[in-house]
């Protein structure tokens, strides 16, 4: 039972960190530490996010309430002191696309050396955490980098004093660790994810390389992606506004024009059909669609203060519903 509680807490903390999108900047995806044949990539610059107005709000109002509790529970159960605020960045990438919803790829977390040393000591001495974890962690390899197995299902690698890598496959993990150590070709040696506009103040990147739309069951509204060889989604905050940039790399000049026309048509349709949704209309009206060479870019902006106000109102509304006293009913009617 205790083991279930522990791994539930660890899972919750990781899930929240991954789904959400400190003053040094962790920077863009670490190309020199990612395998050169990566097909998809998601990067969350945690420090950059928490240094923004929106990041501070989300951290104080949502993340802290859940992650601090999970952090305290882990500390209480296994005497492992993990502070989620010290995470530099979280990167997930894969050298193949998921097959029928089955996850593939590697999770790379960049941490301060002291934090990673604490994790390493815990993995090397799980018996100190109590009998319920004694047989959960196994040391699989010590050189040239440490690899651990958790319940024989999850592999954890420590290729450096700041990186923690997680994968379901040992082969994928070893390749990822070698790339992180510079012993395998990395993204700097390839053209994958290149040719897109850079965003200095972005805290979230999502990119897919050529072939992402092959064998994909796309809805009619997303058929535009079949005319593209790659895509990159970037999110961030700048000068009091949240911004989103979607860049599509077209197959040729003709496809560039077609993609631009399709995107502009979709925006016009939303403007005509959502006249009562003021927030959505304001977002669409901020949209800018540009095309240059083989690249089509869609830019959206929205005031941070308005976004925070809406999130606060919706959170208060949900809290009111959760705390409302349910009406009991019996044979004689409600009471």
Nearest C-alpha neighbor of 210 from the set 37, 24, 93: 37
pTM: 0.80
* Coil/strand/helix, residue 38: coil
Residues in the chain: 335
Which sign, positive or negative, has the C-alpha torsion 251, 253, 257, 263?
Answer: positive
**How, if at all, do strands 329-330 and 333-334 pair?**
antiparallel
Task: Work out the average pLDDT over 248-266.
Answer: 90
Contact 74, 9 (CB under 8 A): yes
Look at residue 218 in the predicted model and tell me its pLDDT: 58
Domain boundaries, the chain: 22-63+85-189, 195-318
Residue 80 CB neighbour total at 10 angstroms: 18
pLDDT tier for residue 124 given thresholds of 50, 70 and 90: confident
Tokens of 210: 């050529």
| Range with the poorest average pLDDT among 3-12, 176-185, 235-244, 303-312 | 3-12
- Using the predicted structure, report yes or no on whether residue 38 has a pLDDT greater than 90: yes
The residues near 29 (Cβ < 8 Å, ≥ 6 apart) are 41, 43, 91, 187, 193, 205, 207
For residues 288 and 301, give the distance between their C-alpha atoms in angstroms, rounded to a whole number: 9
Q: Is the pLDDT reported for residue 302 higher than 80? A: yes
Q: Are 268 and 208 in contact (CB under 8 A)?
A: no
Residue 156 has pLDDT above 60, yes or no: yes
């Amino acid at each position: 039972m205790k083991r279930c509680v522990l791994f539930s807490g660890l899972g919750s903390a990781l899930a929240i960190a991954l789904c959400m999108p400190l003053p040094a900047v962790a920077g863009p995806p670490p190309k020199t530490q990612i395998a050169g044949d990566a097909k998809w990539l998601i990067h969350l610059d945690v420090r950059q996010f928490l240094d923004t107005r929106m990041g501070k709000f989300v951290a104080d109002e949502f993340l802290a309430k859940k992650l601090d509790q999970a952090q305290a529970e882990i500390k209480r159960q296994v005497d492992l002191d993990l502070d989620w605020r010290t995470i530099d960045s979280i990167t997930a990438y894969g050298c193949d696309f998921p097959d029928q919803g089955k996850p593939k790829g590697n999770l790379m977390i960049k941490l301060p050396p002291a934090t990673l040393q604490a994790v390493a000591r815990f993995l090397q001495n799980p018996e100190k955490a109590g009998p319920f974890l004694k047989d959960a962690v196994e040391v699989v390899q010590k050189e040239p980098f440490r690899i651990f197995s958790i319940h024989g299902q999850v592999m954890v690698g420590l290729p450096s004093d700041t990186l923690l890598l997680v994968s379901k496959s040992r082969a994928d993990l070893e390749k990822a660790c070698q790339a992180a150590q510079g012993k395998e070709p990395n993204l700097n040696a390839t053209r994958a994810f290149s040719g897109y506009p850079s965003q200095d103040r972005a805290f979230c990147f999502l990119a897919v390389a050529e072939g992402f739309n092959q064998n994909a069951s796309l809805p009619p509204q997303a058929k535009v992606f079949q005319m593209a060889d790659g895509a990159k989604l970037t999110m961030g905050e700048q000068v009091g506004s949240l911004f989103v940039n979607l860049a599509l790399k077209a197959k040729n000049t003709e496809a560039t024009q077609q993609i631009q026309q399709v995107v502009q048509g979709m925006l016009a349709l939303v403007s005509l059909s959502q006249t009562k949704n003021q927030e959505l209309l304001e977002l669409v009206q901020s949209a800018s669609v540009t095309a240059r060479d083989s690249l089509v870019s869609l830019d959206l902006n929205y005031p941070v203060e308005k976004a925070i106000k809406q999130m606060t109102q919706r959170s208060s509304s949900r809290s009111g519903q959760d705390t409302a006293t349910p009406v009991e009913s019996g044979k004689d009617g409600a009471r």
